[in-house]
Amino acid sequence: AQTVTQSQPEMSVQEAETVTLSCTYDTSESDYYLFWYKQPPSRQMILVIRQEAYKQQNATENRFSVNFQKAAKSFSLKISDSQLGDAAMYFCAYRTALNTNAGKSTFGDGTTLTVKP
Amino acid sequence: DVKVTQSSRYLVKRTGEKVFLECVQDMDHENMFWYRQDPGLGLRLIYFSYDVKMKEKGDIPEGYSVSREKKERFSLILESASTNQTSMYLCASSRFLAGGPYNEQFFGPGTRLTVL
């Protein structure tokens, strides 16, 4: 079974600075998808960024980028030019590329990010 | 936009009551999920479904049941609510196909259930 570990329960960053959230995972599969989700306080969880394991290039979405190290099974999220609206709980998640298990994802325990003005 | 809606944002029930949490999605997704979210414990999967009338247990199914009579609707049932079921409940849906765009889970706003 896959496991996802987020070793930082809480992180803080100064507005306009850069922060990196860590995620490691364990799997025996070679093809899979990785996601970062954002859950703002009292608001709906939404996708921030996704990475296909077969792609070597790291995904980027505006101020959000990932550092995907497949051999090390590491998938960190970098937030550049942090904004107050980035304050949220962030979840790392894994989904197999196989069309099985109803698309279950394995989630980490989350990292609460605080952005200081 | 994909929309996943949940019947209530906040719910207060008494111990022993039967509780229904409803979730509806409008993207014709095959997969639907129920999670509970507790501080320090992340998201824990209660049940999931990959088709109408199909359901499978997740990691913590005890004390819960589910129903999926229509593709767009997935209900979570607490047969006899207990105080340890006080939690935030999140519903999610996703496409069957693992590959391609939009393969992530889409979440509802959550229902904060308090059992007194």
Q: Is A44 on the interface with B (CB under 8 A)?
A: yes
Q: From chain A, pick out residues whose CB is under 8 angstroms from the CB of B42.
A: 91, 107-110
Under a CB-based contact definition with an 8 Å cutoff, are residues A109 and B42 in contact? Answer: yes
Distance from CA of A108 to the nearest CA of B (A): 7
Average pLDDT over residues A69-75: 96
Checking B37-44 for CB contacts under 8 A at 24+ apart, the result is: B37/B87, B37/B88, B37/B89, B37/B90, B37/B110, B38/B87, B38/B88, B40/A9, B40/A109, B41/A109, B42/A91, B42/A107, B42/A108, B42/A109, B42/A110, B43/A91, B43/A107, B43/A110, B43/B90
pLDDT in tens, A17-69: 999 999 999 999 988 999 999 999 988 999 999 999 999 899 999 999 999 99
What Cα–Cα distance (Å) separates residue A25 from each residue in A8, A81, B7, B8?
14, 27, 34, 34
Q: How many domains does chain B have?
A: 1
Residues 59-88 of B with CB under 8 A from A: none
Taking the mean position of all CA atoms in its chain, how far away is CA B3? 14
Distance from CA of A96 to the nearest CA of B (A): 7
List the CATH number of the domain containing B12: 2.60.40.10
Range of the domain at A23: 3-116
Under a CB-based contact definition with an 8 Å cutoff, are residues A110 and A91 in contact? Answer: yes
Q: How many domains does chain A have?
A: 1
Residue A98's pLDDT band, with cuts at 50, 70 and 90, is: confident
Residue A100's pLDDT band, with cuts at 50, 70 and 90, is: confident
Range of the domain at B41: 4-97+106-115
| pLDDT given at position B1 | 67
**In this predicted model, which residue has the larger pLDDT, A101 or A62?**
A62
Mean model confidence pLDDT for chain A: 94
Q: Which residue in the set B45, B90, B98 is minimally distant from A99, CB to CB?
A: B98
| pLDDT given at position B28 | 93
Tens of pLDDT along chain B (116 residues)?
A: 669 999 999 999 999 999 999 999 999 999 999 999 998 888 999 999 998 989 999 999 999 999 999 999 999 999 999 999 999 999 999 988 777 777 899 999 999 999 99
Q: Which residue in the set B48, B96, B107 is minimally distant from A44, CB to CB?
A: B107
